[in-house]
Amino acid sequence: MDELQLLRSFGKDVADPSAEALSRGRRGLVEHIGQQPAIARPNPKKRIALFSGTSALAAGALVATLVFTDVLGLAGWRGGADAAAASALGNAAAAAIENSDPVVGPGQYLKVDTEAVFSAGAQTADWEHFAYLETQNSQMYIPADHSDEWVLVTEPRAAIKVFGEGFEEEAQESARAGFEEEQISRAPYGGFDNSKPRDWRLDELPRDPQRLLNYIYRVTAGHGVSADGQAFDFISTTLRTGVVPAEFRAALYGAVAGIPGVEITDEAATLNGRTGVAFGREEKDGFLHEIIIDPDTGLLIGERTVQLFDSKLDPILAGEVVGWTAVTTTVVDAAPTGGSLCGNGGEPVNGLGSGQCSDPNRPRTD
């Protein structure tokens, strides 16, 4: 799945209640509980039950309102990042606000250059398992007018590291399968490869870090290895889109500071020639997940994943970096030409927006 697709399904955020409204609601609840009239019944136990039930409904209504406006939630009461990480994230948030976002003028494009490496595994015809790291590099060109055509250039893939001896040829073949050549997809609103238009709706999300974190916990509930790990993943996924405005980037850093288990894991982490501070969190599945931030500008440099255990199936040892992403954004005057809706040269199938394209190497027979 395209990592950006996770951001398309988020629901609209409810408008923020004012402090006065919340205070008034709390007072009303207390008064309602204290002044609830008793109803004449022959059985006093029923009177108590009715009183309790009515009060519970009133309390439940207020709690539901506070939860769905992200005032109440997991954020805060279980602690957060350690003191050093929280302080550094606060500084990064301040730096993000102080550094203005690039301005994309009419006819120009925001270029989001992503250099990514991910781990993959395969097996030979003799059932021998091996693993490797493969590149997944791309450049996305977002026009100033989002209704114009966006362009996505996907580079050929290659295996850059193989775990296990004698599997170099198999690893290259596996990495290149389906991605032997450069692909160019173009579509209004970024509906590349016959996918649905991209709509991150970032302007609708809370800017208060605690409310934002409550929102993240709410929309990611039930996913991932843990609630905290999924919240951290949500934030890193959002940041690596490359389109996060400065004030929201600052709010996301504040939200990271509210996640338990986050700490500074590397004070001088380097990705793609850029050095920053790595903030990481160890997950129950045995991986350390990090985001790397430039402390001077508040810009995201990228993310990194480290395996913390010796793999029994593939020869990957603890401490091995098994994935990273480096993101750079610039403003350019032009985007590459050529390409089509389906970057692989195929045709849309199962209707527009299905996310499916035909294989040009297998002509359709219908």
pLDDT digits (tens, 9 = 90+) for 111-149: 999 999 999 988 888 888 899 999 999 999 999 998 899
Please tell me whether residue 323 adopts helix, strand or coil conformation: strand
Please say whether the beta carbons of 270 and 250 come within 8 A: no
Question: Could you tell me the two tokens for 170?
Answer: 């198999």
Report how far apart, in Å, the C-alpha atoms of 315 and of each of 153, 167, 180 are.
33, 12, 26
Beta strand spans in 228-273 (E): 263-271
pTM equals: 0.77
- pLDDT digits 0-9 by tens, 275-289: 999 999 999 999 999
Angle in degrees, 0-180, between the axes of helices 227-239 and 246-256, rounded to the nearest 10: 160
Three-state SS for 276?
strand
Distance of alpha carbon 300 from alpha carbon 267, whole angstroms: 14
The string of pLDDT tens digits covering residues 59-74 is 334 334 444 444 445 5
At residue 25, does pLDDT exceed 90? no
Q: Which residue has the tokens 């994230």?
A: 89
Q: Where are the domains of the chain?
A: 19-68, 79-332
The answer on pLDDT for 239 being more than 90 is yes
High-pLDDT (> 90) share of the chain, %: 58
- Cβ atoms of 321 and 305 within 8 Å: the answer is yes
Amino acid 323 reads: G
Mean pLDDT, residues 219-244: 92
